[in-house]
Structure 1
Amino acid sequence: MIIINEKEVAELLTMEACITVMEAVLADLPDGGAVQSLRQVVPLADRNLLGLMPGYLRREGVAGAKLISVFPHNHDLGLPSHQGMVALFDAASGTPLAIVNGQAITAIRTAAVSAAATKLLAREDAAALAVLGTGEQARCHVEAMLQVRRISRIAVWGRTPAKAAALAAEMGSRWSVAAAAAPTAMDAVRGADIICTATAAVEPVLQGAWVKPGAHINAVGACRAHERELDTALVAGSRLYVDRRESAVHEAGDYLIPLSEGAITAGHITGELGELLTGRIQGRTDNSEITLFKGLGLAVEDLAAAFYIYKQAALLHKGTEIKF
């Protein structure tokens, strides 16, 4: 068995490669080629939690699980909000194959799934990007959006102005694109073609009244039934896609709260990203429609990323082998 650390994950799993891997595993979901259980969560003190996410990839012949801690206030301590590991097993023999750093996988694959959704749903001419949030996910989402659309302008907003300014400067320099911090979330999303929300918010930070017709939104922050980043009007006025219905109807406050208010019905979910990838459902219907992808993160995404990393590590002699 090999151990693959955070630095090695970042070296072995490029954003470009991860987008392709995510598209493949999500396309396997509708027909049962990728199998998973609903995530199990143990609530901890102060809104923190510990999660277990098991799954099985039939075509690849591997199974495993991600064990992850989510501590939303870790950013205030200079620590990542998501930390953990992915354990990978041979599905034929049950032999442990690898333990892979889960923090790096989570950051890259979450943004890669948003990129897959953006490829399918955003207008072809989308060029203005707004990012709400200043953490690792915000940074990765900038990279991911640049992979799938010709972004010419980036606006960043966060609850700490200095962090927003620092992220905007970093992204502008790294990607040679005009990037600036916005004083408010409303200012950030004004005129935006693509909006990515990657915050630790439990109440809406994005309102439908601020979003222009034709925009596409990737919402990946709130992941519990009582938490949301988007207001009811925005969700009700959007064409909604999810990574997995089962997850959304149990965990997505952005969907469940408007549903409980009677603003939408259970049929408001157009479908899963995998169904969109395989042509089972329709995507954007016109250039004025607002499309919304609500991503909660799936075990099969983590396993597919870990298996890709495992294969690359074997080819390039990376990782630390141990007797287990």
Structure 2
Amino acid sequence: MQSLKNSPSPLKRPRLTPQPPPTPPNPQTLTTNKPSKWTPLNLTQSELSLPLTFPTGQTFRWKQTGPLQYTGPVGPHLISLKHLQNGDVCYHIHTSPSEPAAKSALLDFLNMGISLGELWEGFSASDCRFAELAKYLAGARVLRQDPVECLLQFLCSSNNNIARITKMVDFLASLGSHLGKVEGFEFHEFPSLERLSLVSEVELRNAGFGYRAKYITGTVDVLQSKHGGGAEWLLSLRKLDLQEAIDALCTLPGVGPKVAACIALFSLDQHHAIPVDTHVWKIATRYLLPELAGARLTPKLCSRVAEAFVSKYGKYAGWAQTLLFIAELPSQKAILPSDFCAMEENKSAKTKER
């Protein structure tokens, strides 16, 4: 997972190259519901916590559109999710070619074939610290995103902060079909590789992408050259072993092992992928591999960290690592009890002394 550094001051709005307006969806193919029509998703907060899932670095396309409410596109569907007072989750379809298809796509996107409660029960049995964190951070799910969309988002995230990543992803998304506007936010279906292939490196640089512009255009070109299509090639990686999928992703411009692990975990069903960045390295040296504290992170040690997580948590280690990563974010540390944080600091100090 990428290192997410919030900028202390607002960034200047990037100068955008004028683009032809995206083709709006055909109104005859859309269903539009009244804002009051919310439908229960039959999910408790322990299975899906929206604040612990959407603004924590997995995706940069969902926006907070109300108290405990988030809105985003899932393919051609524009959907809002919110928590009721009892914590249960409900959904509202703003626009969609088909309501049944929208719900099916949403459940797939939320990885609802996997029981978070059962996973966390197993993690808690093997790790008392995880069990303690789970009391306060229940419901942090791993999403199952479209691989093309996920790949291009994480190309934007390289050595970047949340504000700039979001601006870049919004720019790319604006090239797709317009889905609607909710609480001042404009939403679009993510553009196809064919549409993205029409965008030049210069246009992306003018839009503030910097050196990432060449990685995006280069990756789109490589995907376009794949036999059967780049989207189909990416989907085929779901059937490979993790290392094979990582190696395949690393053939794309700008994709290294860390970015590849993010894409594998968040879109390719590689549930034991471990994106090792400085945050995950600190977690590993504090709790799993204290003997490596003070060492410099190398590719070899990245592999060792990933192996340690899998050894500890099993074939869904990526889901456990996601919670441990979220627990380190300042926004989430604030909701942990002060005595728990103090105990953590004492343990960390003792580890450093040893």
Q: Which structure: larger Rg?
A: 2
* Higher relative helix content: 2
TM-score, scaled to structure 1:
0.33
Give the TM-score of the pair, scaled to structure 2. 0.31
- The structure with higher relative contact order (CA 8 Å, sep 6+) is 1
